[in-house]
Amino acid sequence: MQILNLRELYPDVYKTDVYLNVSDEVYAVFPTYKRAEAAYQRQVYRYKAQYSLDCDNGIENAVLQRLPTPEEVLEKKQLYAQIYAAMIDLPGKQAERIFACFFLDLTPMEVSRIEGVHVCRIHCSIRKGLKRLKKQISKIIL
């Protein structure tokens, strides 16, 4: 057992010495975290970093992803409208399965469990539906 002074770890909270008995495993963790914190502080000082891209405040998304232009948004809406119009002409099961997999982000295995059929039927139905969809969309675009 090791003795730990909480005032050294948390000077803002503990104004007087408060000693705590902890196991050797717990005591061995503190130097590791102290070194990691010191390394982080050195990194902030060297690179004049005010924010870490590892933090969870959305900075990394703003840096890595650009906003779409109004033209791109309009083109995407038009493409989705064409896809929905073409999906209306598909047989019911094919349209449902394609919608579930591509728009609801369900896996074919999940769709097969929901419908109570074998996963091979789902794959075959989606493949046939996508072929029909491709033909219909190529007719619309041309």
pLDDT of 138:
81
User: Comparing 139 with 18, which gets the higher pLDDT?
Assistant: 18
User: How far, in Å, CA of 82 to CA of 105, rounded?
Assistant: 20
Is 61's pLDDT higher than 80? no
Read off the CATH number of the domain in which 131 is found.
Answer: 1.10.10.10
User: Comparing 70 with 83, which gets the higher pLDDT?
Assistant: 70
Domain that holds residue 13: 2-62
User: How far, in Å, CA of 62 to CA of 137, rounded?
Assistant: 34
User: How far, in Å, CA of 70 to CA of 26, rounded?
Assistant: 55
For the beta carbon of residue 97, count every other beta carbon within 10 angstroms: 25
**Model confidence pLDDT, tens digit, residues 80-128:** 888 888 888 888 889 999 989 988 889 999 999 999 999 999 999 999 9
E strands in the chain:
2-5, 19-22
- Output the six-digit token pair for 98: 């394609």
The number of folded domains in the chain is 2
User: How far, in Å, CA of 40 to CA of 44, rounded?
Assistant: 6
Residue at a domain's end among 15, 32, 62: 62
pLDDT of 11:
84
Are 88 and 43 within one domain?
A: no
0.85 cut: is pTM over it? no
pLDDT of 53:
54
Are 58 and 76 within one domain?
A: no
Residue at a domain's end among 62, 86, 113: 62
Q: Can you tell me the mean pLDDT for 29-58?
A: 76
Average pLDDT, the chain: 84
User: How far, in Å, CA of 110 to CA of 135, rounded?
Assistant: 27
Residue at a domain's end among 35, 62, 89: 62
Phi, psi of 106 (to 5 degrees): -95, 145
